[in-house]
Structure 1
Amino acid sequence: MKVIGVEIGGTKLQATLADADSLEVIGSLRETIVPAKGAEGIRHQLEAMIRSLQSQYDVDAMGIGFGGPLDAKTGIITTSHQVEGWDQFPLADWCRERFGLPTVIRNDCDTAALAEATLGAGKGRQSSFYVTVGSGIGGGYVVDGKLMGTGRPAFAEIGHLRPGVLHSEATNTVEAESSGFGIMAEVRHILQGIASEEQADDYWELVNCCDGNIDVLTTKNIADAATNGNGIACAVLHDAVETLGWAIAQMITLMAPEVVVIGGGVSLMPEKLFLTPLKENVATYVFPPLAKSYEIVRADLGEAVVVQGALLLAKQSLA
């Protein structure tokens, strides 16, 4: 039997054909998404890719990791925050009609969580919580090889915790402070609010690294500056990592996973800026009886993680 795994993101579209038993890859296709063409443009690209893979082998099922919120029961997309035209689109039914394939759809973070728990850094553990820290922050929880909460409107959304009772607005979240976008926004806010003569060296280091246009300042710029001891960058990263550590500690206290797997672009910062202080903050805030019951590790599977999770979804659907 053969299965197809698909990743539909905001910038890339990937499809992989694999053996259903071994998940050995037979063929892969990747295309860049053009956001201006909207969801319809992505569907045209996807149709061509799936038809190409189906022309090589008989395919038995397909799994999709989608970059946005959706209803896992119905396979209907709620929305996409990157590409217009996905609102309430019945993607699972569309795939079944177009390709004649049983199709399972989960959001990309849940799909990555399944891959890391089964094939990556969480392999061999009964329970694994995956946190992706990139432009946003998402979570996924896997127990005994199964994604938890797939029948609920939302589950394991650690990025949408409010960091304390004073944060009453829905936008005052862990994601808003600790994601890549949150870190960049806070540094830009600080730079806009101070005169150049204040914190002069720190100010100019950050302004100069983006050629004076702070709107294009990146998390890599900020991490590089923090590595050099830039006070503004260090302070913002300190607060961001502390908030994320607090959130992970609350999750451990409630769900007690054996391993917490951290993925996403922000997690690739040097250990002294991110992973080491993150572990220290989790240890500070976690429920003491659980203090030595978990590990926090970096993700293993890299860019292929969502596609590998989608292949697993397809494989599980055949069981």
Structure 2
Amino acid sequence: MFLGIEIGGTKLQVAVGLPGQEPVALERMEVQADRGANGILNQIETAAHRLLQKNQPLGIGVGFGGPVDPQTGVVAKSHQIDGWNRFPLRDWCEKTFNLPTAICNDCDAAALAEATYGAAAGAKSVFYVTVGTGVGGGFVYQGQQFGADRPTIAEIGHMRPGIHADRAEITVESIASGWGLAAEARSRLMGDVSRSLSLSRDRSPIAEQTSDEFARDLLLRCDHDLDQLTAKLIGQAAADGNELARDILEHGTQALGWAIAQVVTLMAPQVIVVGGGVSLMGDQLFFTPLRAQVRRFVFPPLVDSCSIVSAKLGELVVVHGALALAAQRSEH
């Protein structure tokens, strides 16, 4: 039995269990961002000690929401929470709980879980993509995390979409993530984007009126507060036939499909697993157009070489990966 910990930007999960099985015990908490890293460490310590009173795990696995060095167990930084810069998380866990500990990035943990117990179980090579607030990735080959000895790997969200993306902030994540979709919607509604919509390329009065109706619909859905406009609202509008929302989603799946096509062209994984909140929009709005964009951009001999499937393990995917990581460490 092992202790698995997920440290995210908005949630914490601490569980005891065996890899590939439902946790024996689980504690889920919200991150209190204003308390920084120390607040999160206090939450983990309290929750873990409660679980350790009734269970005796052999080791700890941690999936951390940000770049880490798995070799040294040191966190590079968090993009959401202050106080994590160069923090020796593995040492802290080992001293606090007196248990051997392994850590990795949360997407790498999720990739390990989906490749071992989830949607790609049995496949030799698996690339995992999460599309939520951000876009992250992980690669698993023959049941092992690939590139664990490198500073970072499989960062598909930080790929530049094409040779004209010459600024650091122009990334696949900035277009295809939930945050990116919402940002594009806000820009279009404020008139900051010069790119014309497919529905309004015909500049007739009827087309203009129709485009305005779709814009008004999006504004009503967020009560005219653009800060409340989310990818979920955009997805609901698209499902209801809002062509402006569909055009925004199409732009996102195009960028993500291009990035996945580059991964397939370079690495030829057997399975691409896609998870995260944006992927929950379903086949019609997300997976069908995504697969079409991958086919459009991939090296032609590899068009039918891999499956693109939805993630299976849901909200516990990082916890499952952390448990698997702890189990692998105990074997070495």
Superposed pair shares fold, TM > 0.5 = yes
Q: Which amino acid aligns with 1:15?
A: V
Contact 2:140 2:146 in 1 (8 A): yes
Contact 2:18 2:323 in 1 (8 A): no
Contact 2:134 2:179 in 1 (8 A): yes
Q: Which amino acid aligns with 1:13?
A: L
Q: Percent identity?
A: 49
- Show structure 2 runs of 5+ residues with no match: 193-207
Contact 2:2 2:323 in 1 (8 A): yes
Query: What does 1:1-319 align with in structure 2 at a 5 Å threshold?
Result: 2-19=1-18, 23=21, 25-193=23-191, 199-319=211-331
Q: Deviations over 1:90-113 (max 9, x none)?
A: 000011111111110111100000
Q: Deviations over 1:190-249 (max 9, x none)?
A: 10117x978320111000101110111011111111122222211111111111101100
Contact 1:72 1:150 in 2 (8 A): yes
Give the match for residue 195 of structure 2: none
Contact 2:274 2:310 in 1 (8 A): yes
Q: Give the secondary-structure state (helix, strand or coil) at the position aligned to 1:132.
A: strand
Q: What is the deviation of 1:82?
A: 1.4
Distance 2:143 2:99 in 1: 23
Contact 1:23 1:311 in 2 (8 A): no
Q: Report the CA distance shift for 1:147/1:236 in structure 2 as closer, same or farther (over 3 A).
A: same
Greater CA drift, 217-226 or 309-318: 217-226
Number of residue equivalences: 316
Distance 2:267 2:149 in 1: 18
Q: Deviations over 1:254-301 (max 9, x none)?
A: 011000000000001131111001001101111111111110000000
Q: What is the deviation of 1:78?
A: 1.0
Distance 1:19 1:247 in 2: 34
Q: What is the deviation of 1:57?
A: 2.6
Q: Give the secondary-structure state (helix, strand or coil) at the position aligned to 1:65.
A: strand
- Show structure 1 runs of 5+ residues with no match: none
Contact 2:109 2:322 in 1 (8 A): yes
Greater CA drift, 269-278 or 309-318: 269-278
Contact 1:127 1:259 in 2 (8 A): yes
Contact 1:246 1:282 in 2 (8 A): yes
Distance 2:261 2:163 in 1: 16
Q: Give the secondary-structure state (helix, strand or coil) at the position aligned to 1:199.
A: helix
Q: What is the deviation of 1:52?
A: 1.5
Q: Deviations over 1:128-151 (max 9, x none)?
A: 100000011011000111000111
Q: Which amino acid aligns with 1:82?
A: Q
Aligned-residue RMSD, C-alpha? 1.5
Q: What is the deviation of 1:23?
A: 4.5
Greater CA drift, 125-134 or 10-19: 10-19
Q: What TM-score do the two structures reach when normalised by structure 1?
A: 0.96
Contact 1:17 1:28 in 2 (8 A): yes
Q: What TM-score do the two structures reach when normalised by structure 2?
A: 0.92
Contact 1:161 1:173 in 2 (8 A): yes
Q: Which amino acid aligns with 1:232?
A: L
Q: Give the secondary-structure state (helix, strand or coil) at the position aligned to 1:273.
A: helix
Distance 1:118 1:24 in 2: 14
Distance 1:308 1:16 in 2: 9
Q: Which amino acid aligns with 1:137?
A: V
Q: Deviations over 1:48-101 (max 9, x none)?
A: 111112221322100000111111111111111111111111000011111111
